[in-house]
Amino acid sequence: MKRRTLLLGAAATLATAPLAAPAIAQGYDPNIVRALNQYLNGITTMQGDFVQQSADGRVAEGLFYLRRPGRLRFEYFDPFPTTVIADGTWAGIMNRDLNKTDRIPLSRTPLYLLLRENVDLGAEGAIQSVERAPGVVRAKAIDPSNPNDGSITMIFGSNPVELQKWIITDAQGRSSVITLRNVRSGLAIDPRKFIIQDLNENSGFATQGNDR
């Protein structure tokens, strides 16, 4: 899998049929968006398993840890030698086989919409579409401050509201999916999980965003 695709979406291109035509953004129910905002802003920590699908049919699995605001970690099981981390400031991908760490500002990734301190999907220009089906709400959003940096589509169970998966589309139009499983919320997570190690110099030192 390409390193940049893993970094932006923690996945390679998603092999799915085209999505149904989205609802018109102006027509979304503000009560639904308000409920999604309330749910996302109420998340402190989440952890569990994830499954990732790629365009070439490969499946990757691993463990994820999330702590709002700003922190996220994907640990890939073998054969993928990869760990993806958001530390509050940077999004980084560590490849143990290549002894290489790549970073980009977290604010330039679509995941920033999910991880920012105050989630407001109703902000001017953020919501692109909201689709509803029995028991499911699908909300596509962009960061209005960086509209060309891709989008995130969050898929929620609606009764109760619960984040089930997200689809990332990066600036090049490549889409990726993460499905969450066995999710547990509100547990303490070791802050060291969110430290990006500098493998480039093989120094053993690490860099970290502002802790909260």
pLDDT tens digits, residue range 12-35?
Answer: 322 222 333 333 344 568 888 899
Residue identified by tokens 């893993």 is 6
Q: What angle do CA 71, 76, 82 make, to 5 degrees?
A: 85
Residue 59 has a pLDDT of 85
| pLDDT, position 162 | 93
pLDDT of residue 150: 82
| 188 occurs within a structural domain | no
Check pLDDT > 90 for residue 189: yes
Q: Return the ∠ at Cα 59 (arms to 90 and 99), rounded to 5°.
A: 45
pLDDT value at residue 56: 63
More confident residue, 36 or 124: 36
Q: Which amino acid is at 5?
A: T
Mean pLDDT for 178-199 is: 94
Local confidence band at 101 (pLDDT 50, 70, 90 cut-offs):
very high
Domain assignment present for 191: no
- The pLDDT score that the predictor gives to residue 149 is 78
Tell me how far apart the alpha carbons of residues 145 and 78 are, in angstroms, rounded to a whole number: 37
In the predicted structure, residue 85 carries a pLDDT above the cut 90: yes
pLDDT tens track for 127-166: 888 998 889 999 998 888 878 878 889 999 988 889 999 8
Look at residue 27 in the predicted model and tell me its pLDDT: 54
Report yes or no on 112 lying in a domain. yes
For residue 78, the domain's CATH number is 2.50.20.10
Mean pLDDT of all residues belonging to the chain: 81
Q: What share of the chain is helix, strand, coil (3-state, %, to 5)?
A: 15, 40, 45
CA distance 190 to 44: 13
In a domain, 206, yes or no: no
Task: Give the rounded distance of the alpha carbon of 160 from its chain centre.
Answer: 21
Sign of CA dihedral 86, 88, 91, 96: negative
Whether 194 maps to a domain, the answer reads: no
* Number of domains, the chain: 1
Q: Give percent of the chain above pLDDT 70.
A: 80
**Is residue 205, in this structure, part of any structural domain at all?**
no
- The arithmetic mean of pLDDT across residues 175-183, rounded, is 91
* pLDDT tens-digit map of 55-73: 666 789 999 999 999 999 9
pLDDT at 108: 86
pTM beyond 0.95, yes or no: no
Q: Are 83 and 93 in contact (CB under 8 A)?
A: yes
Q: Within a domain: residue 150?
A: yes
118 in any annotated domain: yes
Structural domain span for residue 176:
3-183
Kindly tell me if the per-residue pLDDT of 4 is higher than 50.
no
